[in-house]
Structure 1
Amino acid sequence: MKLVGVFILIFISFSSYSKTLKIAYIDWCPQLCVGEKSEGYIIDTVKIIFKDSEYKLEFEKFPWSRAINNVRSGNYDALLSPAKKEAPDLIYPDNEVGVQKMCFFVRKDSNWVFNGLNSLEGLRVGGIIDSGFDEEFEFINETGGNFELMPYNGEYLNQSFLKLDNDRIDVFMFTLNTTLYEMKKRNKEYKDAGCLTRDKIYMAFSPKFTTKSPVIRYFDKNMARLKSSNTISEIMKKYGLNNWNTH
């Protein structure tokens, strides 16, 4: 009887553990907000999706490169929230959890406007390691520009603002919503000088899963329902943003 009891306890423990989703994420407000009253529209979305499920969500914040590596290695189950080119070896559901636009920002007195990669020639440009733009960075460095790549660890924008203010860079690139959010928060005024891409962003899963794994099928089913309802609009209103699913 004692041996049976031990096996039951092990089974219960394993079953409980197997239903816990360990999610790596970054401080990337208004998508993912650390230490804020509102947790970010992607966190809100994911929590609604899994609210009445058998899955328990555990979130842990990391610098971006480390977050990717933790999910890639299987130490964590899912990553919030990359574009596919940022971590192409992860497993992606059919449905995204938002969109991002990667844009260029300059000082208010700058007349520079992004007009293709050649327009970056000769400029000092701030960028992010593991942003999925490695080929673009290499192209600019080869044609006389200079990319200053930094890890994204929550200080990237602060450092970029300081470098821009002190004339250490001419332009930096980052996602539109977050840069506008942080500019308003810090009372900074820079110009949006044009954008590179508009990419879907995802709750990406570790390679230990497959697209047919129950958790991914559950996610896709419920995310599709959410996109067909008015819920996303209601979530986005909290952050003063439009419904990304209608653009």
Structure 2
Amino acid sequence: MQALSSFLLLALLLSSSPLLANKQIKLTSLDWPPYSGPTLPEKGASVAVVKAAFEASGYQVQVDFFPWERAVALAKDPNKGYAGYFPEYYAQELEADCVFSEPIGTSPLGFAQHKQAPVTWIGLDDLSTLKIGVVSGYVNEAEFDKRVAAGKQPVEAVTGDDQNLKKVGVKRLPLAVIDKHVMNYLLNNDPSLDSFKANIEFNGKLLEDKKLHVCFRKGPQSAEYSKALADGLKKIDIEAITKKHFQ
């Protein structure tokens, strides 16, 4: 009888273990090192945080990687099986489609610049005569994006941060919007940027220290997923998980 009781207790414990959870969620992401990417350790800092938080709430997570605009489109399509995408900056215009999660980390957003041609600015008006590099489909800082939409800020869009860094490195662009950790990672790990690395630095003034989120597609389970992630985030140390990816 004692052996049977022990067996039943063990079975109960195992059935409640997150490792054996049968709840699953599929998300999309992009190759945006060091935050996310299929070849990164733990698939990147943001992926490591999201997986740890969901697992703490009893979910198994599958993350599939695509170019950014495709990652967003797939996550928004209810027929593709994805519950959302990440990492995303908050933007009011995205609330029509997104239930934003609690923050899964932060992103120091600013500008890459050429070391021999640093740009000093106080407000966004000071940048209005400069053509600035951006990545197509990315949310930037809210007021900056409003100025771009209103035609008050000239920009040149590309499909990846590496392209903008090359343009800054040869002074084709004075500035390019980029996350500081992304810039440092690319300059130190992308061989195609080796000849530009010595010329590029991060501008001393941030656009914004952005919060990163999961955007859950609005639907019957979005509130459940958002709560599960929020509960899991309370059980993990986000800073400890992400710190090793930024070294």
Shift of 1:61: 0.9
Shift of 1:129: 2.4
Aligned residue identity for 2:157:
L
Q: 2:83: which partner in 1? A: 77
Q: 2:155: which partner in 1? A: 147
Shift of 1:38: 4.1
SS of structure 2 residue aligned to 1:91: strand
1:97-116 CA-partner distances (Å, limit 9, x unpaired): 00112201111101312322
In 2: Cα distance, 1:52 partner to 1:224 partner: 9
1:135-177 CA-partner distances (Å, limit 9, x unpaired): 13134x43xx5200223xxxx1221122123332221111111
* Bigger shift: residues 107-116 or 161-170: 161-170
Identity over the aligned pairs, expressed in percent?
19
Shift of 1:79: 0.8
Which residue among 106, 109, 125 is the counterpart of 2:116?
Answer: 109
Matches within 5 A, 1:3-22: 19-22=23-26
Matches within 5 A, 1:14-53: 19-51=23-55
In 2: Cα distance, 1:233 partner to 1:197 partner: 19
Which residue among 216, 241, 244 is the counterpart of 1:238?
Answer: 244
Q: 1:58 to 1:122 in 2, by over 3 A?
A: same
Q: Is 1:208 aligned to residue 211 of structure 2?
A: no
In 2: Cα distance, 1:236 partner to 1:110 partner: 32
In 1: Cα distance, 2:169 partner to 2:208 partner: 25
Shift of 1:53: 5.2
* Aligned structure 1 segments of 4 or more residues deviating by more than 6 angstroms: none
Q: 1:87 to 1:67 in 2, by over 3 A?
A: farther
Shift of 1:126: 0.4
Q: Is 1:161 aligned to residue 169 of structure 2?
A: no
Does structure 2 conserve the Cα–Cα contact (< 8 Å) formed by 1:104 and 1:114?
Answer: no
Q: 1:10: which partner in 2? A: none
In 1: Cα distance, 2:220 partner to 2:185 partner: 34
Aligned residue identity for 2:167:
K
Q: 1:132: which partner in 2? A: 139
TM-score (norm 1): 0.76
Aligned residue identity for 2:241:
I
Q: Is 1:220 aligned to residue 230 of structure 2?
A: yes
Shift of 1:211: 5.6
Aligned residue identity for 1:71:
A
Which residue among 197, 206, 210 is the counterpart of 2:208?
Answer: 197
Q: Which segments of 5 or more consecutive residues in structure 1 lack a partner in the other structure?
A: 1-17, 242-247
Q: 1:121 to 1:223 in 2, by over 3 A?
A: same
Q: 1:41 to 1:175 in 2, by over 3 A?
A: same
Aligned residue identity for 1:87:
L
SS of structure 1 residue aligned to 2:132: strand
Does structure 2 conserve the Cα–Cα contact (< 8 Å) formed by 1:33 and 1:40?
Answer: yes
Does structure 2 conserve the Cα–Cα contact (< 8 Å) formed by 1:90 and 1:205?
Answer: yes
Q: Which segments of 5 or more consecutive residues in structure 2 lack a partner in the other structure?
A: 1-21
Does structure 2 conserve the Cα–Cα contact (< 8 Å) formed by 1:92 and 1:211?
Answer: no
In 1: Cα distance, 2:56 partner to 2:162 partner: 38
Aligned residue identity for 1:115:
I
Aligned residue identity for 1:39:
K
Shift of 1:132: 2.7
Shift of 1:179: 0.9
